Amino acid sequence: MELKAGTEASLASVQERKLTGTHHPGSGADAWLRGFTSLLVLLFPTVTLFVNRGDSYVFGLLTLVGLYVWLRDGARVWLDRYSGALWIAFLLFFAVAVLSYLVGLQTEDGFHFLGRYLRFLLIAPVYLAFRRYPPTAKTLFIGLALGALVSGVLSMLQFLHTHTPFRMAATTDLSIIFGDLATTMVLCTAAGLALLASSRRSWTLPLLILCLAGGLAATLLSGTRGAWIPLLLLPLAFIAPYGAFLKARYVALIFAVIVLTFGISYMVPRTATQARLGMISAQVYDYFAALGSFSPRVDPGAGNARCVNGQSFLRAWIAAGRLAGDVPAQVSVVPDPGLMQTAAADFGCRAGYAVRISNLGGKGAAQYVLPRVPEESVSSQQTTVLARGAAVVSFAGGGSHHASVNNAVYKIVKVAGGHAAGKAVNVFVAPGESVWLVPLESYFGEYSFAPADNNVGQRLEMWRAAWHLFLRHPLLGVGLGAYQAQSRELASQHDIAPFVGTYDHPHNDYLNALASAGLLGLLALLAVLVVPLVRFVRVLRSRDALEHAIGLAGTLSVFGFAIYALTDTVFLHSMMITWYVIYMALFVALIQDRVTKQENGIA
């Protein structure tokens, strides 16, 4: 009886602290844990990017604090409908992943991905840690602003130290992750700017603007184009909430700093910002030109060469090539009626276009390198072209075998190489001479997908492969982690480009969910994004500055991750999962803590 009474008294005490918003029950351990949790929140952004496995250490410590709360208070006393929905969404995401792994093709990759997805389940103890020992909102935003500033300063220092183009990655080892997280810190700092600037200290706002500029610099120096798109959300952080906190001239100053940061990055060649932006449209064009030349054989094992000489393809092909050496050459796609007067028609060369390479009179041979897509077979060690004119054709770095061309009419030219024969063909043209070339594919995709073998083209083809896999297995997909094995099968069936098989995911979370776990996987992924977003959007209408700032930070974070997921599989990276779980738990916990205090007349 005494034990039961003691338990009930303890539960009543916890409920009273929850209802009154009191988190200082007088225990030294409680005070220490509250300070410890706040310190972890303050340091987490910086530690994640600049301490090896720092995100895992913080995640583990928060989990331990949450488990302590669970054992001490129980979970139900801190749960409500919003946090309950959050837990269920993250649990379902993991459950669908397990189901797709069990019913699909089981691979080692899938097993490793399940290990990473276990982090979604830890939202329960992490939320309890924040609910029982909530840090202040200012601690949250100062930590994010500090992370943005440190990221920018260290990125700039490395940029100044390095004299060649580089992409900042820090300890993430992937510039994409670094760029995504730097952008997230910028968005959240902007959301909390008015709240932090309300201290009325003269140095606060300039320091915060410096933090924003640092975060923007880190994002740009990462070279992550997918991380630049969410920066378009920045105006949302300055429209409604700042009228009562920041004067118009301060908002104008902030936008001037943002524009100046972008402008400097765009104008400095070593940042590669201008080059990476300009590359997008060209690579998209190259991909669709390559896709238009795709013509699968009825018999995948057929050995007959196939002519690939569509005008748009040939233009993309030479654009994907490069001039090697200092001797100038003129390279163009020209209509060539002479092509139709040979046996070329037997290979399907019906358009009458060819690539012409002319040496403009240099003292030596002009060298132009044209791309191809090798495969893991003996047939990849030789290639065939139709050629007329005078030139020498060989593999780039593929041994000493070469073929001399000196033909008045088109003839078949075969080039052999060793095991090193690979992704390019060299064409040497003597001074004053010209050569006309048409590639003949000896195997599927040898030349037709060469222009697509770039950052954008590879992603687009991976997405096409994922869509193919989804159509074959629409309900539960091919299995978690089975994307690579199944895409290689598609390549062997001549449905997609062979280079797709080198990747274990399609660089798009939505298509990865569809391919790996089907419609159920997509719904589970959308739940992980939408459930917390609904809570954040609801508090955006709040007149309470603190509530609004947290809701805005949460909204921008979810939208940011949703955009990152368009060009990368962010939820396959442990660091990104950790970041998302911690901040979703933290934002919701702080909102619920604030609401509880307001309902009890404390805030």
**CB count in 10 Å sphere of residue 199:** 11
- pLDDT for 445 equals 83
Mean of per-residue pLDDT scores for the chain: 85
For residue 591, pLDDT over 70 is answered with yes
For residue 348, pLDDT over 80 is answered with no
What is the four-CA torsion angle of 275, 278, 281, 287, rounded to 10 degrees? -20
- pLDDT for 9 equals 47
| DSSP character at residue 99 | H
Higher pLDDT, 461 or 542: 461
What is the four-CA torsion angle of 345, 350, 352, 354, rounded to 10 degrees? -80
Give the pLDDT confidence of 51-91 residue by residue, as tens digits: 999 999 999 999 999 999 999 988 888 888 899 999 999 99
- pLDDT for 143 equals 97
Backbone phi, then psi, for 203, in 5-degree steps? -90, -10
**Spatial separation of the C-alpha atoms in residues 349 and 265, rounded to whole Å:** 46
3 state DSSP class of 236: helix
Beta bridge pairs of residue 407: 389
- Residues in Cβ contact with 371 at an 8 Å cutoff, skipping those fewer than 6 apart: 317, 320, 321, 423, 424, 425, 450, 451, 453
- Residues in Cβ contact with 578 at an 8 Å cutoff, skipping those fewer than 6 apart: 48, 55, 56, 58, 59, 119
Within 134-272, where are the H helices? 137-161, 175-191, 193-197, 204-222, 225-228, 248-267
From 454, 443, 324, select the one nearest 381 (Cα to Cα). 443
- Residues in Cβ contact with 566 at an 8 Å cutoff, skipping those fewer than 6 apart: 226, 508, 509, 510
pLDDT band at 283 (very low <50, low <70, confident <90, very high): confident
- Highest mean pLDDT pick, 1-5, 161-165, 222-226, 442-446: 222-226
- Residues in Cβ contact with 134 at an 8 Å cutoff, skipping those fewer than 6 apart: 23, 37, 589, 590, 593
- pLDDT for 20 equals 46
From 137, 257, 148, select the one nearest 194 (Cα to Cα). 137
Distances (CA, A) of 450 to 55, 127, 316, 436, 500: 39, 49, 9, 19, 12
Give the pLDDT confidence of 514-541 residue by residue, as tens digits: 999 999 999 999 999 999 999 999 998 8
3 state DSSP class of 411: strand
- Residues in Cβ contact with 471 at an 8 Å cutoff, skipping those fewer than 6 apart: none
Sorted by where each begins, the domain ranges of the chain are: 1-294+455-603, 302-448
**CB count in 10 Å sphere of residue 253:** 15
From 298, 426, 304, select the one nearest 371 (Cα to Cα). 426
For residue 122, pLDDT over 90 is answered with yes
Mean pLDDT of 166-180: 90
- pLDDT for 360 equals 81
Joined tokens for residue 176: 């994409």
3 state DSSP class of 485: helix
From 188, 226, 430, 253, select the one nearest 327 (Cα to Cα). 430
Give the pLDDT confidence of 252-272 residue by residue, as tens digits: 777 777 778 777 777 777 666
Least confident of 4-13, 32-41, 362-371, 418-427: 4-13
Higher pLDDT, 159 or 40: 40
- pLDDT for 84 equals 93
Helix (H) or strand (E) holding 112: helix 108-121
Mean pLDDT of 106-125: 94
* CATH topology for the 302-448 domain: Jelly Rolls (2.60.120)
From 359, 313, 314, 354, select the one nearest 334 (Cα to Cα). 354
pLDDT band at 242 (very low <50, low <70, confident <90, very high): very low
For residue 98, pLDDT over 90 is answered with yes
pLDDT band at 299 (very low <50, low <70, confident <90, very high): very low
